[in-house]
Amino acid sequence: MLTRLHVQNFAIISDITLDIGPGLNVFSGETGAGKSIVIEALGFVLGARGDVSVIKDGADRMSVSAEFSSDLLPAEVRKNQQISADRFVLKRELDRKGKGKAFIDGRAVTVSTLAQLGQHLVDFHGQHEHQSLLHDSVHLALLDKFAKHQTLCQKTATAYQETENLRAQLEALQLSAQEKARLLDMYSYQLKEIEDLHPSANEDVQLEQDLPKLKHAGRLQELAEGVYDELYGAEHAATARTGKAAKLLESMAELDENLAPLCQELNGALVTLEDVSSTLSAYKDDMNVDPDALDKALTRHEKLKRLKAKYGPEISDVLATAEDLRQKISHLEHAEENEKDLENALKESRQKLLKLARELHDKRMVAAEKLAALITEQIRPLGFNQIKFAVSVEMDEENIGPTGADRVEFLFSPNPGQALRPLKNIASGGEISRVMLGLKTVLAPTVPVMVFDEVDAGIGGETGHLVGQKLHQAAQGRQVL
């Protein structure tokens, strides 16, 4: 249950705190008083899209926090969101630079986390949402939500995508002989361009590290010889002097044991000097001052640069492109053999998709009958004494898509003797609003808070009274705003 809503600098609201009670809560007021803005603020803190244009004039940021009791929240959700207290607070901020922050009990989270949690807390019915009942695609989505077979829907969507991928691959293979020859020639040329240079992984990085050394090879060799001579090469070199000093210090340590640690440090320094001298000796001996080596490295580096510009941006991408070209060439050279394999794979994939679509259809047929009965039961008291409501599910096996092969449509007859016809063709605004109220009651039985923004739009008189009674009934065991 929503217990408190605090809104700051949201549209026309400067600062307001609402303490909301259980059961039915009614917001009333003149147009422009801010009723719907309160609902939008609640949606914002539950992950709805934020817009800097909503920030109140003169303010740097807007902020909304909502306190909920956690008693009706599923245990698994409480565990996943680290909610342990009886009450928890969601908070979201947005500044004029478009930077947002989201929190659960002061712990920073993503906006998507708020949205996921919000699905378990509140179900919204906006001012114009009832118009969505005029679209057949919405009917299919509502039926699937009621049936709770999302896993099967996902399997069907995945199978459809796999089938489409195989179909596209097969179409790509079914080319004319001239087109195959053209592609084979182009792919072979591109692959040869890469293979002639024969690049290796990270070769460009190594070259970029080596080039400064090659460019300054002569100077580096000269400096290395100078450092070596100072350390080790001359008669009075640093290593020789350090060695003599170490022997003298060892003699002192024999007389005063407190000098033993200092003696060890000096001996360590001597070892380090000798290591540096040895390394420098090898460095200067290995130094390549051949101008041809620099020219070759520069030429190689430039060729790799052009190759990356064409097939990169990195050497790893160039190597991946080469492998992709080899596969494409292989597919073209063995087109007939690959075509047969793809035809068999496509046939199997279509059969799998058809099987899933039929299974989905069967489940939808069962769910459609249950949904129609429940909706009829919910909306009959709303001024429909002789109502007929049905959910039509028609399957077209020749037209399977990512949602299966079904066309779902809500059928409606508000008057005795009137045949069932599509809801969008005969229902008035008030009738659509009442049907949506029935749908919401059926489809959101586990959500603790239901929000209806102007659910009475387009209705009045006795029907308005009946809708009010229905809202009061819906508020038994849950909170309705």
By the 8 A CB rule, do 431 and 448 touch? Answer: no
pLDDT classification of 357: cutoffs 50, 70, 90: very high
Would you state the pLDDT for residue 371? 92
Q: In this predicted model, what pLDDT tens digit does every residue of 99-133 receive, in sequence order?
A: 999 999 999 999 989 988 888 888 877 655 555 66
The encoded tokens of residue 151 equal 């896993």
pLDDT classification of 161: cutoffs 50, 70, 90: very high
pLDDT classification of 16: cutoffs 50, 70, 90: very high
Q: Which of 20-24, 122-126, 166-170, 238-242 has the lowest mean pLDDT?
A: 238-242
Would you state the pLDDT for residue 430? 63
By the 8 A CB rule, do 120 and 77 touch? Answer: yes
Cα–Cα distance, 163 to 157 (Å, whole number): 10
Would you state the pLDDT for residue 131? 57
Would you state the pLDDT for residue 352? 96
Of these ranges, 235-239, 251-255, 276-280, 304-308, the one predicted with the greatest mean pLDDT is 304-308
Strand partners, 91: 65, 103
Average pLDDT over residues 380-391: 80
Residue 362 has pLDDT above 90, yes or no: yes
Strand partners, 6: 17, 65
Pairing mode, if any, of strands 87-95 and 100-104? antiparallel
The encoded tokens of residue 122 equal 């509140």
Would you state the pLDDT for residue 429? 61
Would you state the pLDDT for residue 403? 93
The encoded tokens of residue 80 equal 């996943």
By the 8 A CB rule, do 159 and 379 touch? Answer: no
Q: Which of 55-59, 119-123, 167-171, 291-295 has the lowest mean pLDDT?
A: 291-295
The encoded tokens of residue 38 equal 């309160």
> For residue 235, what are the contacts with CB-CB under 8 A and spacing of at least 6?
none
Tell me the average pLDDT of the chain. 83
Domain ranges of the chain: 1-120
Helix, strand, or coil (residue 421): strand
Average pLDDT over residues 185-201: 90
Would you state the pLDDT for residue 265? 85
Residue 232 has pLDDT above 70, yes or no: no
**Which CATH code is given to the segment(s) 1-120?**
3.40.50.300
Would you state the pLDDT for residue 132? 60
Helix, strand, or coil (residue 448): coil
